[in-house]
A and B are shown apart, each in its own frame.
Chain A
């Protein structure tokens, strides 16, 4: 299956305050009651965005100044907690193409990359500068340069880390690993035979 080669993500940013944004916040567990991922975009950050009566709390995601933003900017350990892929699914389905954060929880990072949602890690200083820049000018174009390992905001550029294990597949359009894993099935069978099966004595 041919996937998009993702050399860069261009779009406006939305600054999400805080560190340790956990996946229960990204998508509350009740929205996991589903057998497909359809419609999860609307559940993104639901409890932070809406009160129990469904009224908007004026969350930054719903701030009209940031409408149409495609780059989410946040703090360290983004996506910690549950392994639910529903979290990056809801971010992607809400229209985001990249998350720029100080660091990422590992399960989230892997889940996001497999969906082609770019995760770029930047320094705390860069995050602060990016946050300030988009707050000042929400129309500012943010460029997440996957190939160059940088995030640009107008005239300024910040170093960004995307580990090679994610960068190469994004650039090559091979970010979903299943195809390559299937190519190895012959060798997999050999390893299975060598190791035996627990409980199959």
Chain B
């Protein structure tokens, strides 16, 4: 009998090509995803050194960060953005790389496109020049965000020089309270373990709460793994995973499907395997969670008060003071009631069909507060089309949301969607860093999609359970 192994160990050992002189592993990358922001310099480096793309059939491209969401007319008004999309098109054409372009009907945020196409598969290694590549771990893939020189490495060699991570299993068991969503689960985990708690680790999410989650919910959780400092995070593949992948364009068919499912099942962590650390969280202890500060770990329950400097642990006081100064919140006052200027609904964290459906359930017949600018940005063209076929777009539009085209939008504001001045944004996205949403003094409060809907309607940070009378369990 061989030693029981975690999914991470199996995938790592399967994909290890050889040991490098510095002790790192040359790790084979099954699937490489690229976009317009972090790839042009990588192609440039290959050009400078006269190196070709080794396995172009394993790289897939789309355009997401810089695309405007209010118009698709080209050339884009922003000449730099326009240059980037043209550069990506040229690089893909030159190297024979599959590109899900704006006119394909398949364009979207790169972390939406991989799963939608069935490119993201269990037991594989995936790399992309974007930190939220951890999203793909929802399928039991080991997925790394990488820098541009590493994008170059993958293009040139289909491998990365990597050091093996430790594995921490995070178990969430029990029943989530009504009004508590996957977003709250991951915000709670980051708040509990800290934004650097995951350094050196891969996170394995286990326990009955994750087992009951849909693939879209698992993606929300894995997406924000990086905000907790862990390089990647995953959920073991199961029947939910396979049902999602079946009949997707790049999923295996016929007997190959059955073989793939058998192989995928075998990649799941073995019972009794060893973890470097195990953390257990009771689902009942997770509240609707919102951030109050300038990193995703600075979060509290919607029922709590904004921290005070004096009331914070000594080592954190400087950081708390800095965050309070930026956020212009009153220390010790309830976070509830904080005035909201913008509601942003979208991103690779919460821009999926189920996010829109769940929020639409409560937005139906309600109106966005007159002082709030509200934008809804589907994560992909598929999400947009699906929402429109279900009439979800009409609910958002009648409520007063702008209904946009697919892209990263105001999650990182590399496009025309930006905060202005010190606007405060209730956001379904993943980062509340200073300046993240396009204004140096802009303020971000991260929360679940239904909480953003509640903030949009009331014009203030609100408890969706009160505003909407949310009484159903999100994760069954």
Contact = CB atoms under 8 A, between A and B. Distances in A.
Contacts of A29: 65, 412-414, 436, 438
Contact of B158 (A17, A86, A174, A192): A192
Given A174-B22, A188-B17, A198 B433 contact: no
A201 B251 CA distance: 8
A64 interface: no
B22 A164 contact: yes
B41 A36 contact: yes
Contact of A199 (B66, B251, B431, B436): B251
A106 B433 contact: no
A139 interface: no
Nearest to A198: B121
Nearest to A46: B440
B289 interface: no
- Residue from B121, B156, B260, B435 whose CB has the most chain A CB atoms within 10 Å: B435
Interface stretch (A2-10, A19-27, A147-155): A19-27
Contact of A77 (B78, B81, B196): B196
Interface string B221-259: 000001001010000000000000000011111101100
A107 B156 contact: no
Contacts of A181: 20, 26, 153, 156-157, 159-161
B322 A18 contact: yes
B153 A177 contact: yes
Interface in A93-114: 103, 105-107, 110-111, 114
A176 B149 contact: yes
Contact of A47 (B26, B31, B435): B435
Interface string B184-209: 00000000000110011000000000
B156 A77 contact: no
Contact of B81 (A33, A47, A184): A33
B28 interface: yes
B84 interface: yes
Interface string B138-152: 000000011111101
A106 B229 CA distance: 8
Contacts of A48: 434, 440
Contacts of A197: 30, 57-58
A13 B141 CA distance: 42
A199 B252 contact: yes
B129 interface: yes
A35 B440 contact: no
A34 B37 CA distance: 8
B184 to A, nearest CB: 21
A191 B57 contact: no
A85 B440 contact: no
Contacts of B22: 164-166, 168-169, 174
Contact of A198 (B17, B18, B55, B250): B250
B40 interface: yes
Contacts of A187: 17-18, 26
A135 to B, nearest CB: 15
A33 B41 CA distance: 11
A163 to B, nearest CB: 8
A70 interface: no
B467 interface: no
A174 B322 CA distance: 40
Given A84-B38, A107-B231, A18 B318 contact: yes
Nearest to B25: A165
Given A20-B295, A76-B196, A168 B28 contact: no
Contact of B435 (A24, A105, A106): A24
The 9 closest A-B pairs by CB, nearest first: A199-B250, A111-B147, A85-B147, A201-B256, A47-B440, A35-B40, A33-B80, A77-B196, A177-B161
Given A77-B229, A82-B130, A185-B157, 8 more contacts: A20-B319, A24-B433, A24-B435, A81-B431, A82-B431, A111-B150, A178-B156, A184-B26
